[in-house]
Amino acid sequence: MTESIGILGTGEMGGILARAFSRANYPVLLGSRAAARAAERATALAVAGGGKIQSGDYTTTVQSASILILALGFSDALTLLPTLGTALNGKLVVDISTPWGDEIAERSAAERLADQLPATAQLVGAWKTTFAATLDGPHDLQHDVFVSGDHAAAKQRVSGLIQKLGFRAVDCGNLATARVLEGMVRLMGPIARSLAPAERHGSPAWKFLP
């Protein structure tokens, strides 16, 4: 059965993921706090070659999709999840966020967001080290998307989505490993800025080379 993808958030990452999954022939729903905002964004993505993308408010998107991607900043996601209540029962939720500044704590964003889910829902961390520019364009090198989670079957489902978008899924282990991935994200900017201009090639990314 084809998964249906609900993207919660209409920003850059949410839009690029919605367009990518639509092009890969997944049913996609784009959700926003305001349904009108989601509809406007879905229309713009379709005009830009994103295929057919449905839209709605957050609750409608959660109820309609089998996999939910939190394309929101950490604080916004942390505020949103408790408001969705039983609509999250049985859902697979993907967290792509990275905490910054005062949001940083000993536990990862993924672990803290998982605490907000009902017992029947599962959370996987993925796309945390993947910038929007990496998602949006062709590349000579197949990029890695690192996956963290406590449930093997949930990680396999998310890994399948990653592979369908042309990336390599790398299983990092349990959800606590997201702490390392989020730290890696915060290193990407300083490392990129430290390189000479001739050494910079597009958007920075991490690649595991065995």
Q: Is residue 208 part of a domain?
A: no
C-alpha gyration radius of the chain: 16
Measured from the Cβ of residue 197, the count of other Cβ atoms closer than 10 Å reads 5
User: pLDDT-derived band of residue 139, with 50, 70 and 90 as boundaries?
Assistant: low
Q: Are the C-beta atoms of 56 and 38 separated by less than 8 Å? A: yes
Q: Is residue 188 part of a domain?
A: yes
Alpha-carbon distance of 78 to 82, in angstroms, equals 8
User: pLDDT-derived band of residue 43, with 50, 70 and 90 as boundaries?
Assistant: very high
pLDDT over 90 (residue 135): no
Measured from the Cβ of residue 15, the count of other Cβ atoms closer than 10 Å reads 23
Q: Is residue 178 part of a domain?
A: yes
pLDDT over 80 (residue 112): yes
Measured from the Cβ of residue 148, the count of other Cβ atoms closer than 10 Å reads 28
pLDDT over 60 (residue 140): yes
Measured from the Cβ of residue 59, the count of other Cβ atoms closer than 10 Å reads 14
> pLDDT tens for residues 14-25?
999 999 999 999
HSE (side-chain half, CA atoms, 13 Å) at 174: 4
Q: Helix, strand or coil for residue 137? A: coil
pLDDT over 70 (residue 196): no
Query: In what helix (H) or strand (E) does residue 184 lie, and over which residues does it extend?
Result: helix 178-194
Q: Is residue 24 part of a domain?
A: yes
Q: Are the C-beta atoms of 12 and 132 separated by less than 8 Å? A: yes
Residues 6+ apart with CB under 8 A from 108: 99, 125, 148, 175, 176, 178, 179, 181, 182
Q: Is residue 207 part of a domain?
A: no
What pLDDT is stored for residue 127 in this prediction?
96
> pLDDT tens for residues 65-111?
999 999 999 999 999 999 999 999 999 999 999 999 889 899 999 99
> Which token pair is 39?
């509809």
Q: How many domains does the chain have?
A: 1
The CATH number assigned to the domain holding 133 equals 3.40.50.720
- The percent of residues in the chain predicted with pLDDT above 70, rounded, is 93
Tell me the residue range of the domain where 99 lies: 5-199
Q: Is residue 205 part of a domain?
A: no
Q: Is residue 63 part of a domain?
A: yes
What pLDDT is stored for residue 99 in this prediction?
92
Q: Is residue 19 part of a domain?
A: yes
